[in-house]
Structure 1
Amino acid sequence: MRTAKDPLYRRHRFPPEVISYAVWLYFRFPLSLRMVEEMLAARGIGVTYETVRQWGRKFGKPFSDRIRQRAPARGDKWHLDEVVISIAGEQHWLWRAVDQNGFVLDVLIQRRRDARCAAAHEEALEIRRHAAARYDHG
């Protein structure tokens, strides 16, 4: 993300590559600070979770912005899928809304299946889709 000559990295004990890797791990994947600490320790880098937290506060904004920019665009067509599943011996209905690219837009689990539930789920998706389109196009 940034070069070693960047003044932002001055006066840090670790090289910019280590800092960038730790911050990228934390923001890119659903990892806790302690998990990032363990992953770095597995590579022979002794960093505490508190250090990772401080790096995240200082360097995290550009990383999170860049990760969000790379997120795939949501499709304008979507499909609602319904599956019966068993949870603790009881029948439940799993509803998934998926766009044409396979991106999961929403997931809903219900104990009962009726038209009112499906319509409410579909209406919520339409509201989200229209709101997203409004923010995407200005």
Structure 2
Amino acid sequence: MNTKGHCCPKYVILQAVYFKLRFTLSYRDVEEIMKIRGVIVDHATIQRWVYKFMPFIEAEMKNRKARVGKSWRMDETYIKVKGIWCYLYRAVDKSGNTVDFLLTRKRQRMSAQSFLIKAIINNYRPRVINIDKSGSNTAAIKVYNRRSFSKIKIRVLSHL
């Protein structure tokens, strides 16, 4: 990450970007926090820093993420978020570590399929996926296997 030519040192830029991303603050709130810390910087500058340096921070966080196991448990459930009913697709590994999750308004094969692809891209392809009797998850795994010429084993469990 090259911060050469910027008005502030690298640690100040990273601190401002961290505040914005971690605590869902507005740019003006981050500007105020930085002012309290003795750093005078405009909220527009902080916005440019976030857009410029967010990919570097995201890549670093991805590198630090713990690896998940090769056996996943994938399911979906219906939950209420801010008064709206949504489907939560999630996958956890054998140790209980969260592999990935996706929140959607509708329960469709395409939602399950996009979730599976997202989880595999963000981690890696599992050896086996344990699922309940969900038709959308079964279809998503079969389509993925067919399109990517992989052999992810599907284990249907009745007690999930």
Task: Return the alpha-carbon distance in structure 2 between the equivalents of residues 87 and 54 of structure 1.
Answer: 31
- Once the two structures are superposed, what CA deviation does each residue of 1:64-121 show, in whole Å capped at 9, x if it has no partner? 32222222333321224566757899x9876543222421533567899xxxx81213
Q: Structure 1 residues 38 and 45, CA, compared in 2 at 3 Å: closer, same or farther?
A: same
Name the % identity.
27
1:62 maps onto 2:22 in alignment: no
Match for residue 69 of structure 2 among 75, 78, 86: 75
In 1, the alpha carbon distance for the partners of 2:35 and 2:62 equals 28
Measure, in 1, the Cα distance between the counterparts of 2:86 and 2:52: 45
Rate the CA distance shift 1:48–1:73 in 2: closer, same or farther, 3 A.
Answer: same
1:9 aligns to what?
Answer: 4
TM-score, L = length of structure 1: 0.52
- Within 5 Å, which residues of 2 pair with 1:27-46? 27=21, 29=22, 31=24, 33-34=26-27, 35-46=29-40
Aligned residues: 120
Distance 1:92 1:48, change over 3 A: closer
Q: Establish whether residue 120 from structure 1 lines up as the match of residue 136 from structure 2.
A: yes
Distance 1:95 1:60 in 2: 26
5+ unaligned residues in a row in structure 2: which ranges? 108-132, 151-160
Deviation at 1:21, TM superposition (A): 1.3
More relative contact order in 1 or in 2 (CA 8 Å, sep 6+)? Answer: 2
| CA distance in 1 between partners of 2:30 and 2:54 (Å) | 14
Per-residue deviation, residues 13-46 of structure 1 (Å, max 9, x unmatched): x33321121134445x373552533443454433
Q: In the alignment, which residue of structure 1 is the partner of 2:119?
A: none
- TM-score relative to the length of structure 2: 0.47
